[in-house]
Structure 1
Amino acid sequence: MKWFKQLTIAALIAVIGFSSVPASTPTVTAASKLSGKIVINGSSALLPLTLQAASEFKKLHPKVKISASAAGSITGPQAVRKGIANIGAVDWDASKDVPGFKKFEGQVAHKVAIIPFAAVVNKNVTATNLTTKDLQGIFSGKIKNWKEVGGKDAEIIVVNRTFGSGTRVNFQDKALEGTDFMTKGDNYKEVKTSGDMKSTIETTPNAIGYMDLAYVTDKMTAVKINDIAPTEANVINGKYKVWGYGYYMTKGQPTGATKEFIKYVQSTKFQNGSLKKLKFIPISALK
């Protein structure tokens, strides 16, 4: 999708629903009277899913306007709490305490996807099968050269997400088993969104970072961890452990257009269609 290749700015904002759709368009449900405005903030990992779902939902309900922005998971429930968003997209269940973040009182979590996360390296990196110990050493700053983990003699450039990123929370917990990240150094970079991570890995020789599979391109390599590739099949069969659920948070139970939009994202049609094409995994795939 052309728009997806443009996800390189810190906070991509897409507004859907301000153009009219002719009544003769076959995808429009002529009888739909659903109306309203839905504002979605939060996870950049979930943004491709949100944008695609919004586009499809608009065709079914042309009177509904949807805007979506992404600046990191923590901004989602914060925006819901402040009343400036109907939905907060988050890579963890923000209705519960998790390491580093207190729960958001009064918010309800709705599972919308399973998100596989991957360590990724620039195309010039030859070390593409790393152990948990290797990753812990690299991201903590103890391992500084690719030759220490079977690669060529070159300084490792570590690219990290800023605090508040759900992708960071999941990667630290599941790929690094809680090991702390390095936070400074000449070989350290920090980026705000998944789109920023994608562009940085693509253009920085000897770089390593992490992202969800929806952002992985042919200009980088998704690394095997302990000989296991980050694939849908390996998540489902239990071999690959670096994944998490994506959630839409709402203030109490949703109503109106917000309720119907969440139901659409959770529907079998969307889960087994567009969601899978974007490299997410349907929530029904794991029991």
Structure 2
Amino acid sequence: MKWFKKLAVVTLAAAFTLSAVTSAGAASKLSGKVVINGSSALLPLTLQAANEFKKLHPKVKISASAAGSVTGPQAVRKGIADIGACDWDASTDVPGFKKFTGQVANKVAVIPFAAVVNSNVKVDNLTTKQLQDIFSGKVTNWKDVGGSDAEIVVVNRSFGSGTRVNFQLKALKGSDFMSKGSNYKEVKSSGDMKTAVESTPNAIGYMDLAYVTSKMTALKIDGVAPTEANVINKKYDVWSYGYYMTSEKPSDATKEFIKYVQSAKFQNGSLKKLKFIPISAMK
């Protein structure tokens, strides 16, 4: 009887081993190239997912770059990218941008955005009206909104940024941005925004939570902090879905990569660690 139990254990172990080998072999057969362009807000997520996916499918080559959300669907339309990362559903019209016909929008994340200030700014909460006045250039000194007597430096994203689209629509309620002045800077990417806010005393800007560091403060808006819990509970509304735009007939490698990003393993693991919110969390 003992030998039978041992044989059963050995047989079971062998079955698991064979299953694992078979699974790995099947995964390794996937090949191809996936080119991703677009949103810099989504870039940390994309790079992490690419790193994990390539370990499972070493024959798939993935390259990712970010020059702003609008460049994603543009690159897909031109045929130079398989995935266009975008902070809005580019298959529909949004203010300032016409829809990209013939493209499919795949939700991959919930992106919380925050107004951020340099660490020397002694303000941690602004009202919607105060944000509108600051970013439009009506208010130019921190003392007018509860801070020190210092000129406010406004850092803005360039046109075509999905972060800019969402911040203007949701944090500023459609209010216009200022566009010039000695206290105005404009940057091209989320990484450039992070560097500018960190290194510029008295600066204010905005970005998704994945880029927020200890060298800056993510502001409360109307007393509500930009946290995962507040987004999920619908107390904080400055957020958007992040999308991977594709053609109507993406390659197998592209489909599998998107499927991996949407998987519970990635959504509840690396995605959350990067300060994004799983798409399943929003009801």
Q: TM-score, normalising length from structure 2?
A: 0.91
Q: Assess if the C-alpha contact under 8 Å between 1:159 and 1:209 holds in 2.
A: yes
The residue aligned with 2:56 is: 60
The residue aligned with 2:14 is: none
Q: Which structure: larger Rg? A: 2
- Post-superposition Cα deviations, 1:127-177, rounded to whole Å, max 9, x if no partner, equal 110000000000000000000000000000000000000000000000000
Residues 62-101 of structure 1 mapped to structure 2, 5 A cutoff: 62-101=58-97
Deviation at 1:84? 0.2
Paired residue type of 1:87: I
Does residue 257 in structure 1 map to residue 230 in structure 2? no
Paired residue type of 2:26: A
* Inter-partner Cα distance in structure 1 for 2:34 and 2:123: 44
Residues 1-287 of structure 1 mapped to structure 2, 5 A cutoff: 29-32=24-27, 33-287=29-283
Paired residue type of 1:187: N
Paired residue type of 1:31: A
Q: Name stretches of at least 5 consecutive residues in structure 1 with no aligned partner.
A: 1-25
Q: Assess if the C-alpha contact under 8 Å between 1:108 and 1:253 holds in 2.
A: no
* Inter-partner Cα distance in structure 2 for 1:49 and 1:260: 16
* Inter-partner Cα distance in structure 2 for 1:83 and 1:254: 11
* Inter-partner Cα distance in structure 1 for 2:227 and 2:136: 25
Deviation at 1:231? 0.2
* Inter-partner Cα distance in structure 2 for 1:34 and 1:84: 21
Q: Name stretches of at least 5 consecutive residues in structure 2 with no aligned partner.
A: 1-20
Q: What SS class does the counterpart of residue 25 from structure 2 fall into?
A: coil
CA RMSD of aligned residues (A): 1.0
Q: Of Structure 1 and Structure 2, which has the larger fraction of its residues in helix?
A: 2
Deviation at 1:205? 0.1
Paired residue type of 1:88: G
Identity of matched residues, %? 80
* Inter-partner Cα distance in structure 1 for 2:24 and 2:58: 8
* Inter-partner Cα distance in structure 1 for 2:270 and 2:38: 20
Paired residue type of 1:160: N
Q: Assess if the C-alpha contact under 8 Å between 1:216 and 1:222 holds in 2.
A: yes
* Inter-partner Cα distance in structure 2 for 1:258 and 1:127: 44
The residue aligned with 1:16 is: none
* Inter-partner Cα distance in structure 2 for 1:153 and 1:258: 52
Deviation at 1:86? 0.2
| Displaced runs of 4 or more, over 4 A | none
* Inter-partner Cα distance in structure 1 for 2:94 and 2:278: 23
Q: What SS class does the counterpart of residue 24 from structure 2 fall into?
A: coil
Deviation at 1:60? 0.3
Deviation at 1:30? 3.4
* Inter-partner Cα distance in structure 1 for 2:88 and 2:222: 25
- Post-superposition Cα deviations, 1:57-104, rounded to whole Å, max 9, x if no partner, equal 000000000000001000000000000000000000000000000000
Q: Number of aligned pairs?
A: 261
Paired residue type of 2:31: S
* Inter-partner Cα distance in structure 1 for 2:37 and 2:251: 18
